[in-house]
Structure 1
Amino acid sequence: MTTTAPTSCLGRAPREGARLRLFCFHHAGGGASFFSSWPGRLPFDVDVLPVQLPGREARYREPRFQDAGEVVEALGRELAPRLDEGPWAAYGHSMGAMVAFALTAARLRAGGRPPEALFLGAYAAPYVSPSLPPPDRYDDHELARLLVDFGGLSPRFLGRDDWLRVLLPILRDDLRVCATHHRAGLPDPDDERARLPLHVEAFAGVDDPLVTPGAVRAWGRYVNSFRMTTVPGGHFFPRQAPDPFFDRLSPSLARLLAGLGGPPSAPG
């Protein structure tokens, strides 16, 4: 049994014996529960570790971030021991893609252990037009309707001001994080010498009303190795069309495991 205690941004300690840790970063307004079904969808030797930002779900009472630089600094400090322990990869969805990438870039600058690969979904490269709306452009009802339209909120929330008073402040603060991406220490996409020695696989939903495949493909200007995949579904394709998405993500993770060598772990 492992004796290491979980950090506050992880709901549990990493699973002992897993050969690859997959740290997962959630979308704006979301939380770690977005990834609750993932362990059953991915190879057993991949330990799915959702990262929970403060101010939501189990960390609801903690103050939220509003600045991308502060997010990256705090996560880098908190996750560094876990990221240095063994092979890891990361998946970031929407806002989480920017957070995962910026965290990885910061670790590389500091000489930390790099990931085996980085997986990014449903977010435009930051130098392209913003993926998400500015935090204060819409009033609460307009923002709630926008969320419903692109699949980020159930229609049953409309008209429930008590629910929206809880949800929308979280979303607005996350949108402020997205709007301050320039403070997160991202490399210059126009400088080929600044490209990171990383392999990135990016995913775009073919029916995503917020982010075009071309905007997602633009992540390739940040790294030395890049692959782009379009999948059925909209902005939240891991939930809207999970089978095609996991049919592409699982083999990529299996290839990483094969590259690590060693025998597979036995479930149970």
Structure 2
Amino acid sequence: MTTAASAPTACLVRAPREDARLRLFCFHHAGGGASFFAPWPARVAPGIDVLPVQLPGRESRFREPRFHDAGALIEVLERELAPWLDRPYALYGHSMGALVAFALAAARMRGGGRAPLMLFVGAYAAPHLTPPLPPADRYTDAELARFLVDIGGLNPQFLGRDDWLRALLPIVRDDLRICAGHRRAGLPDPDDDTARLPLDIHAFAGEDDRLVDPDAVRSWERYARRFRMSTVPGGHFFPRERPRPFFDVINRSLAGLVAEPGGRPGEPG
């Protein structure tokens, strides 16, 4: 993965490829960063340009103020990513990133912008359900760290590293505020058929996810024009824990997107 210096905007870790048949913008989980997607370019189908989105306040952008309001975050992402959404693209969001990706797609489509060929959502409940992640201030630092270990988001060796946790946990808490306030991002009402977006969604759930039940992930169907659900081996972070089964499925879906003439999504395999 190249550095942010070569990127056309701060939220991309590198410049998009001009020769790609499809751009895949990827949004990370709460407390995470774009490095979560570092292995993806070597695993996805040829012709797919994997573009991890780096939110401020972490990794290469650690000196920048973090967002804690979902509406403000989406407004900035839509503006900064707009020049790169001018050709066929898809979005993948993992955990909190699923919410961010969906809100971005909704904002783009409401404004008359080009729609994604597919919204991929992983390990997150549909927006009308209670957010699966806890409120930002429910746990003490020790309890929050243990929660992250339990869902596979933190190596247990860091439990005794107070200096490291003091750097990580404020990032996690601000991301949890984004999740808790997601309704301020202007998401469509799943009960209002007139507000339904012509959006195709492919949802992924981990078989052993201790945080998000597959039925909660399946509820994304209420927001979709066409919907597919895939349950894959692994826990909450299945792309990292059990990558091969996940990439077998998503690569078939991506191949279907690029195979269709005129940019229409194909039927995922």
Q: TM-score, normalised by structure 2?
A: 0.94
Distance 1:5 1:148 in 2: 33
Residue 31 of structure 1 corresponds to 33
Distance 1:251 1:50 in 2: 20
Instruction: For 1:153-164, list aligned pairs within 5 A.
Output: 153-164=154-165
Residue 81 of structure 1 corresponds to 83
Residue 214 of structure 2 corresponds to 213
Instruction: For 1:1-268, list aligned pairs within 5 A.
Output: 6-84=8-86, 86-260=87-261
The 10-residue stretch of structure 1 (125-134 or 169-178) with the greater mean CA deviation from structure 2: 125-134
Q: Which amino acid is the alignment partner of residue 205 of structure 1?
A: G
Distance 2:159 2:15 in 1: 37
Distance 1:173 1:260 in 2: 42
Give the share of equivalent positions with the same residue, in percent: 71
Q: How far apart are 1:180 and its partner, in Å?
A: 0.5
Q: How far apart are 1:260 and its partner, in Å?
A: 4.0
Instruction: Tell me how many residue pairs correspond in the alignment.
Output: 258
Distance 1:179 1:129 in 2: 9
Q: Which amino acid is the alignment partner of residue 140 of structure 2?
A: D
Q: TM-score, normalised by structure 1?
A: 0.94
Distance 1:117 1:34 in 2: 20
Distance 1:70 1:207 in 2: 34
Once the two structures are superposed, residues 16-35 of structure 1 have per-residue CA deviations (whole angstroms, 9 ceiling, x without a partner) of 21110000000000000000
Q: Which amino acid is the alignment partner of residue 258 of structure 1?
A: A
- Please say if residues 194 and 222 of structure 1, whose CA atoms lie closer than 8 Å, have aligned partners that are also in contact: no
Distance 1:193 1:205 in 2: 32
Q: How far apart are 1:126 and its partner, in Å?
A: 1.3
SS of structure 2 residue aligned to 1:248: helix
Q: Which amino acid is the alignment partner of residue 237 of structure 2?
A: F
Q: How far apart are 1:196 and its partner, in Å?
A: 1.1
Change (3 A) 1:261 1:187: closer
Q: Which amino acid is the alignment partner of residue 57 of structure 2?
A: G
- Please say if residues 7 and 13 of structure 2, whose CA atoms lie closer than 8 Å, have aligned partners that are also in contact: no
- Please say if residues 27 and 101 of structure 2, whose CA atoms lie closer than 8 Å, have aligned partners that are also in contact: yes
- Please say if residues 208 and 233 of structure 2, whose CA atoms lie closer than 8 Å, have aligned partners that are also in contact: yes
Query: Greater relative contact order (Cα 8 A, min sep 6): structure 1 or 2?
Result: 1
Distance 2:13 2:216 in 1: 32
Change (3 A) 1:181 1:73: same
SS of structure 2 residue aligned to 1:196: coil
Distance 1:96 1:150 in 2: 16
Q: Which amino acid is the alignment partner of residue 137 of structure 1?
A: R
Q: How far apart are 1:129 and its partner, in Å?
A: 1.8
> How well do the aligned residues superpose, as a CA RMSD in angstroms?
1.2
Once the two structures are superposed, residues 119-143 of structure 1 have per-residue CA deviations (whole angstroms, 9 ceiling, x without a partner) of 0000001111211011000000000
Distance 1:109 1:260 in 2: 25
Change (3 A) 1:42 1:73: same
Distance 1:175 1:250 in 2: 30
Q: How far apart are 1:193 and its partner, in Å?
A: 2.3
Distance 1:142 1:248 in 2: 35
Once the two structures are superposed, residues 21-65 of structure 1 have per-residue CA deviations (whole angstroms, 9 ceiling, x without a partner) of 000000000000000000010112000000000000000000000
